[in-house]
Amino acid sequence: MYCDCKLIILMLQMGELAVDKHVKYILSVQKKRKDSFEAVVMEHLTMNGAYWGLTTLDLLGKLDVVDSEEITEWIIQCQHESGGFAGNIGHDPHILYTLSAVQVLALLDKLNVLDVDKVSNYIVGLQNEDGSFSGDMWGEVDTRFSYIALCCLSLLHRLDKINMEKAVNYILSCKNVDGGFGCIPGGESHAGQIFCCVGALAITGSLHLVDKDLLGWWLCERQVKSGGLNGRPEKLPDVCYSWWVLSSLIMIDRVHWINKEKLDKDNGGISDRPDDAVDVFHTYFGVAGLSLLEYPGVKAIDPAYALPVDVVNRIFLGR
Ligand code: GRG
Ligand code: ZN
């Protein structure tokens, strides 16, 4: 299997059996022998991996193949006394894993196991004087962490606990003259950081502060000749940009500016990296990208919260 959207489309076209193959792959990643080299190297990624894998399963309508009690129990054990979550049991907490833990519990409809104030206090404690957020106690600042903080607090109904105005102004200070956003003020525009900044602004109801035409133009220019998308000028296309770019375009209401036909086409695809080995991260982005393109058989995903729309509705609309 390859990091290639064509393959995912093909698998979906093959019907039920192909979906089952996907599901089997994700389960095999979860159950990988604990003493294997890869398991040791990837251990710190486990909480993120759980989010990528389980969201993919849910988008394919197969979340019921996992033991939700067992996963919930493991997540609880990954919580640190500070309230934040680690990538695995006994590791240090980080805001990245905290969002993944909250997202997985949301998917499994298990948010009720959380001490919401404890988790949200951990995030509140990471906001800096200038409105930015650090990733953990060591202080690295990045607009990724702003998005994560706002997304997580919103899912927990605790956005009122931080200084929202400062958080929004910090994100705006990372806006560039090309309409894009970087990881810190003056940082180069990159589709991943744009997803974070636009997502954070969407969650806080601040999208009117974005120059949608200018940003929409920059994002559309990410489509290369083959139809795939790259993350910044002169770089190679990659399946994960189908998520970072398309979700951003949807949030700013400019997705009709992209050539969907070329993107959808069997040869061209969302990405063109047939030499890379498959991983659960790119499997997620391939399926999530297809979801954004309303591909039949894939559930709709919310472009800001990166969770299936029905999960987001359960949280905000109680249904
Ligand atoms: C819940 C979906 C979700 C995300 C959580 C972690 C995070 C928030 C967002 C990450 C955003 C980001 C920076 C994505 C980019 C990842 C990526 C493919 C980086 C590669 O960068 P380079 O420089 O590759 O290696 P390019 O393609 O620019 O050459
Ligand atoms: Zn990638």
How far is it, in rounded angstroms, from Cα 285 to Cα 282? Answer: 5
Number of H helices, E strands in the chain: 15, 0
| Residue tagged 């240090």 (tokens) | 92
Q: Ligand 1 centroid to 195 CA: how many Å?
A: 9
Contacts of 139 (CB under 8 A, 6+ apart): none
Mutate to test the pocket of ligand 1, among 184, 244, 284, 307 (most ligand atoms within 8 A of CB): 244
Can you say whether residue 136 is alpha, beta or left, with left for phi > 0 and alpha for psi between -120 and 50 degrees? beta
Find out whether 308 and 107 touch, Cβ atoms under 8 Å.
yes
ipTM (interface predicted TM): 0.98
Q: Which residues pair with 175 in a beta bridge?
A: 181
**What's the Cα-to-Cα distance from 209 to each of 188, 194, 206, rounded to whole Å?**
19, 14, 6
- Rounded to the nearest integer, the mean pLDDT of the chain is 87
Q: Ligand 1 centroid to 284 CA: how many Å?
A: 13
pLDDT band at 168, cuts 50/70/90?
very high
Predicted local distance difference test score (pLDDT) of residue 1: 26
Mutate to test the pocket of ligand 1, among 145, 195, 218 (most ligand atoms within 8 A of CB): 195
Mutate to test the pocket of ligand 1, among 94, 144, 218 (most ligand atoms within 8 A of CB): 144
Helices (H), 14-142: 16-30, 37-42, 46-59, 68-77, 95-107, 116-124
Residue 202, pLDDT above cutoff 50: yes
Q: Ligand 2 centroid to 266 CA: how many Å?
A: 19
Handedness of CA 139, 144, 147, 149 (dihedral sign): negative
pLDDT per residue over 222-270, tens digit each? Answer: 999 888 899 999 999 888 998 999 999 999 999 999 988 887 644 433 3
Looking from the CA of residue 100, the nearest atom of ligand 1 is: 1
Q: Ligand 2 centroid to 282 CA: how many Å?
A: 6
pLDDT per residue over 43-93, tens digit each? Answer: 556 899 999 999 999 999 999 999 999 999 999 999 999 999 999 999 999
Q: Which residues line ligand 1 (CB under 6 A)?
A: 96, 144, 147-148, 192-193, 195-196, 231-232, 235, 238, 240, 244, 306
Looking from the CA of residue 148, the nearest atom of ligand 1 is: 8
Looking from the CA of residue 147, the nearest atom of ligand 1 is: 8
Q: Which of 75, 71, 74, 94 is nearest to 84 (CA)?
A: 94
Q: Ligand 2 centroid to 42 CA: how many Å?
A: 16
